[in-house]
Amino acid sequence: MKLTEERMYQASLEKDSSFEGIYWMAVKTTGIFCRPTCTARKPKRENVEFFINTEKAIENGYRPCKICRPLEKLNETPRYIQNLLDELQQNESLKIKDADLLKKNIEPVTIRRWFLKNHGMTFQAFQRQFRMNKAFKKIKNGENIIEVALESGYESLSGFSERFKDIIGTTPNNTGHQKIIDLKRIETPLGPMFACACEEGICLLEFTDRKNIDLQLTRLSKAMSAEIVQGENKHFKQLEEELNEYFERKRTRFEVPLYIIGTDFQKKVWQLLTEIPKGETRTYKQQSEFLGNPKAVRAVGTANGINKIAIIIPCHRVIGSDGELVGYAGGIWRKQKLLELEGAILF
């Protein structure tokens, strides 16, 4: 599956995002290198060369483009937004209003657009979910409801209870049997991912631009009879540390606890995925043979496709019988980069 330089050049002309992360284009006349989606004016074909990673581009004397910023993580959270998130994490009663943003020289409309694009809600709605997530856990642990309401920044218990029910799905007095799933957006070199976790472990890990990600979250919520709410979870720190080690080639196996939902057959397929050694691939046919049912190729492919925990349950290590990289919901380019990272394929 080796790309020709002509195809890469055409992809850059078209600003084709499906090639993001596969190659970088360097311009001989300016000495800079760019992402495939860079909006800068495209140079003539004879003035460019291509690299499969940024390190090679830099080794050859090129510097990163200031427009597309190829050294930054794909769709990385801007530092000023990360600072706001850190403030919310440190102060559970904090309510950052538009006036507060303006004092920080941040345009409220910019924040609103970013959160709508990346979280599907406004910044104010995000803050409310974040506060109620913390409040739910405190009440669940036996803390006094009135005290929790005050700590959450509410002067009225009725106002707190109404907002609590809107977000959590039940009143503060009825949290006993209610469940929530914590949701967090995390950064990776291949783009941001949504991580979901419950008390038992990680129950979803998907790239945020995966097709039908909203449907995935809805199905998870229904399967677990729980509300999905923005917030922290004890498993997220371990998950992020292990993912960082994985991308730095320092980790071959994940140890973060998982909470897997599926049929017995699906769980067998997913378990078999975790047994494919790093640096190797298998075909769908081989997977079905390992399961003892050579005719279950299509069923194996379907189970792979609905795997909710990307990378950790490595469905990217399964390829077509002809060796083609097919069937990866996070994008074929990501499948390619993951296999390159693991040493399973070389380009």
Give pLDDT tens digits for 176-217.
888 999 999 999 988 899 999 999 999 999 999 888 899 999
Provide the CATH number for the domain around residue 121.
1.10.10.60
Residues 290 and 329 occupy one common structural domain? yes
> Is 219 inside a domain boundary?
yes
Rounded to whole angstroms, how far apart are CA atoms 74 and 193?
A: 11
Residues 185 and 161 occupy one common structural domain? no
Specify whether 315 is catalytic.
yes
Q: Domain boundary at 198, 221, 247, which?
A: 247
Provide the CATH number for the domain around residue 335.
1.10.10.10
Helical axes 108-119 vs 123-140, angle rounded to 10°: 60
Residues 118 and 48 occupy one common structural domain? no
The CA radius of gyration of the chain, in Å to the nearest whole number, is 23
Residues 320 and 287 occupy one common structural domain? yes
Rounded to whole angstroms, how far apart are CA atoms 14 and 17?
A: 9
Range of 194's domain? 180-247
> Is 256 inside a domain boundary?
no
Which residue from 268, 252, 253 is spatially nearest to 307, judged by alpha carbons? 268
The model's pTM is 0.85
Residues 83 and 165 occupy one common structural domain? yes
Locate 14 and state its tokens: 């078209």
List the chain pLDDT tens, one digit each, 347 residues: 456 899 899 999 999 877 887 889 999 999 999 999 999 998 999 999 999 889 999 999 999 999 999 988 778 899 999 999 999 988 878 899 999 999 999 999 999 999 999 999 999 999 999 999 999 999 999 999 999 999 998 989 999 999 999 999 999 999 888 899 999 999 998 889 999 999 999 999 999 988 889 999 999 999 999 999 999 999 999 999 999 999 999 999 999 999 999 999 999 999 999 999 999 999 999 999 999 988 899 999 999 999 999 999 999 999 988 888 887 888 888 898 899 899 987 55
The total number of structural domains that make up the chain = 4
Beta sheet of 24-27, edge-to-edge order:
48-51, 24-27, 32-34, 63-64
> Is 259 inside a domain boundary?
no
Provide the CATH number for the domain around residue 21.
3.40.10.10
> Is 72 inside a domain boundary?
no
pLDDT, position 211: 83
> Is 243 inside a domain boundary?
yes
Say whether 224 sits in a helix, a strand or coil. Answer: helix
Q: Domain boundary at 154, 174, 194, which?
A: 174
Say whether 72 sits in a helix, a strand or coil. Answer: coil
> Is 194 inside a domain boundary?
yes
Provide the CATH number for the domain around residue 185.
3.30.160
> Is 271 inside a domain boundary?
yes
Residues 97 and 144 occupy one common structural domain? yes
Among the options 34, 196, 203, 315, which is catalytic?
315
Residues 268 and 230 occupy one common structural domain? no
Q: Domain boundary at 174, 190, 219, which?
A: 174
Going by the DSSP 8-state scheme, the letter that residue 258 receives in this structure is: B
Exposure string over 75-101, b if 16+ CB within 10 A, otherwise e: eebeeebeebbeebeeebeeebeeeeb
